[in-house]
Amino acid sequence: MSRLEILGATNINEFHCLSVGYGGEDIMKEDCSQASGSSSLSGEIVMKSSGFDCHNAMMTRDFAKAVKANEFPEISIRFIGLKENPSRKNVLFGKVEITLAGEARIYTVSCVVKEESEKSKHLKGTRTFYFSDFGLQPPQKLFGAVKVKDAVSVDFHLKLKKL
């Protein structure tokens, strides 16, 4: 199953939020070059902004509020031509455009792709993002005594299957 996990920290402890209810029905396109034998992946996944469980009701609610889930109900991740690195088999490099809270940002990303069967692949990677990149304030509690740090790490695991 495809999933996205957000790992972060406060000034007191760490937290992680896991995507829930994401069916992974989005389409990724693989283009193969006959001449070079290389391929590239592109496509977009769209998730609900409120579709994350932080394993703590207060943190889940605060996370949804921080990413403005009521105002911007979707988070989109668009992969822009992930290409194989000729020197590292099964490693893809490229650009990804994240749209969160109405703001779009482009980042470079590296991920590993594994052939699971003749009809499926598994794409996984990690990238650090900042709330401030999207004009967002990290959540705070108890009059600022507990503060979420600006940086969060996003782990993605996408199951890809051939149609």
Neighbours of 148 (CB within 10 A): 22
Inter-residue contact 69 to 19 (CB < 8 Å): no
Q: For residue 145, what are the contacts with CB-CB under 8 A and spacing of at least 6? A: none
Q: What DSSP character marks residue 10? A: B
Residue type, 155: D
Does the pTM surpass 0.75? The reply is yes
Q: Comparing 63 with 160, which gets the higher pLDDT?
A: 63
Q: What is the pLDDT of residue 71?
A: 94
Q: What pLDDT was estimated at residue 47? A: 84
pLDDT at 40: 67
pLDDT digits (tens, 9 = 90+) for 34-46: 555 566 667 788 8
- CA pair distance 28, 84, nearest whole angstrom: 15
Residue-wise pLDDT for 76-121, tens only, equals: 888 887 887 777 777 888 888 889 898 999 999 888 878 777 777 7
Average pLDDT over residues 47-61: 86
- Residue 4's pLDDT band (boundaries 50, 70, 90)? confident
